[in-house]
Amino acid sequence: MAYSNETNLPAKFHLANIYEYSVANPREYNYIAIGSSPRTTILHQFTPKIDQLLPQFLVDDIINPSKRERTFRIVHIDATTEKDLPFLHEYFNLKSKMMGINFVYDDSEEMHVWRSDDFRIEIMFLFVYIYHGMDIQYQTVNSRVDDTWFLEKMVETTLKNKNKLIIQEFSGHSLEKTRKIIYANYKQNIDQRKLFLNNILMHDECHCGLAIDTYRPQVKPDGSFYQFPLYSTDEMKALIGTDDNINEILKNYFVRNFKMNLSNHHINYTRKTTGANLMYNVDEYNETITADEIMNILIKILSSDLECLDRLGFLTDSIKENITELFTNYKNYDLHKWRIAVGKIF
């Protein structure tokens, strides 16, 4: 199969060929990095903290003796990396020595690829831009074509082979909307949903300032991924107490959820006290609801978050007393001061 690295060709041409190649040559562990151009091309300054080409967690996996049979494919997608080709040669020469792996450069198919001489590891570079998670209006206004289809197809072929895929953004463009679009293809089927949650990870942090040397995907003992953004509340609750590191993540999740619920529902409550329409459309109610009914729902939702935080050991007796007072006697407070007081709990 022939490839082209001419950047004047449409991205779809490059992406379609990468997908077809991946279907024909599946790998157990796949990593797609978008906007991953090196942050410096001075080799001694290209430390593990900023190494987006071979993140430390991948290096650790690749050289782990217990994973010597695992196959890896890393795909870098960034048009600006083309100018850094001389640096890439320097970099992989150094990595060959550091990792004890002979990386061999291959451009025989008009593609820039470094492979281990046993073909176990493959690092490919696409010199194109990729756009994903865009709505039709944005595409029209900005004259861009949405490439979400490519990530969808890479997820599809990964799951077909029961392999793993991490998609990481470094360009600043969040994967949140793209994740929702792709996840929608699997969430209605119990088995497919489980497979997606265990095998596909789209990291939330999407900027080039991510500390690559300390970042690690959250992985269960069986090697499957934790998927906090996609878990139901009941699934989150079931994880409480399973691991200290997970407890800290859950704490941050429930605190963030608490603040978001407080903000959205209290704004709706405030508007209903004046007879105005709701600011936010939510699943729990519609325009026919009264202000007091919204407050009852809000307290119930916040209490659920607080129950989880209590089980995690983050609620003191004084906080519990303060919560009871605020929830029981909310009508005695100025509504804006009440919201501020509740928000200050965390």
Residues contacting residue 127 through CB under 8 Å, at least 6 positions apart: 5, 7, 78, 79, 81, 82, 112
**pLDDT score recorded for residue 8:** 38
Alpha-carbon distance 117 to 126, whole Å?
Answer: 21
Task: Tell me the CA distances in angstroms from 216 to 57, 62, 164, 210, one per residue in order.
Answer: 6, 14, 15, 11
Alpha-carbon distance 302 to 261, whole Å?
Answer: 7
Nearest to 208 by CA among 85, 50, 339, 101: 50
Nearest to 114 by CA among 92, 130, 99, 95: 92
**pLDDT score recorded for residue 311:** 92
Nearest to 278 by CA among 264, 297, 292, 262: 264
Alpha-carbon distance 225 to 248, whole Å?
Answer: 17
**pLDDT score recorded for residue 131:** 86
Tokens of 272: 């209903």
Q: Check if the beta carbon of residue 208 is closer than 8 Å to that of residue 168.
A: no
**pLDDT score recorded for residue 4:** 31
Residues contacting residue 307 through CB under 8 Å, at least 6 positions apart: none
**pLDDT score recorded for residue 232:** 86
Taking each helix axis from N to C terminus, what angle separates 190-199 and 148-160, rounded to the nearest 10 degrees?
Answer: 100
Alpha-carbon distance 85 to 20, whole Å?
Answer: 25
Tokens of 100: 């004890």
Tokens of 52: 């987006």
Tokens of 194: 């489980």
**pLDDT score recorded for residue 207:** 63
**10-residue mean pLDDT series, the chain (346 residues):** 35 80 96 94 94 94 90 95 95 96 87 93 92 66 76 97 95 86 94 96 73 86 89 88 86 90 94 94 92 97 94 93 96 95 92
List strand residue ranges (DSSP E) for the chain, in order: 29-34, 72-77, 103-106, 112-116, 121-126, 164-169, 200-202
**pLDDT score recorded for residue 195:** 97
Backbone torsions φ then ψ of 280, nearest 5 degrees: -115, 135
Residues contacting residue 109 through CB under 8 Å, at least 6 positions apart: 1, 2, 3
How many C-beta atoms lie closer than 10 Å to residue 83's C-beta? Answer: 11
Q: Find the angle CA(313)-CA(317)-CA(318) to the nearest 5 degrees.
A: 125
Domain spans in the chain, listed from the N-terminal domain onward: 11-226, 244-343
How many C-beta atoms lie closer than 10 Å to residue 260's C-beta? Answer: 11
Alpha-carbon distance 153 to 47, whole Å?
Answer: 33
Alpha-carbon distance 76 to 91, whole Å?
Answer: 15
Task: Tell me the CA distances in angstroms from 103 to 1, 106, 124, 258, 340, one per residue in order.
Answer: 22, 10, 12, 49, 58
**pLDDT score recorded for residue 241:** 87
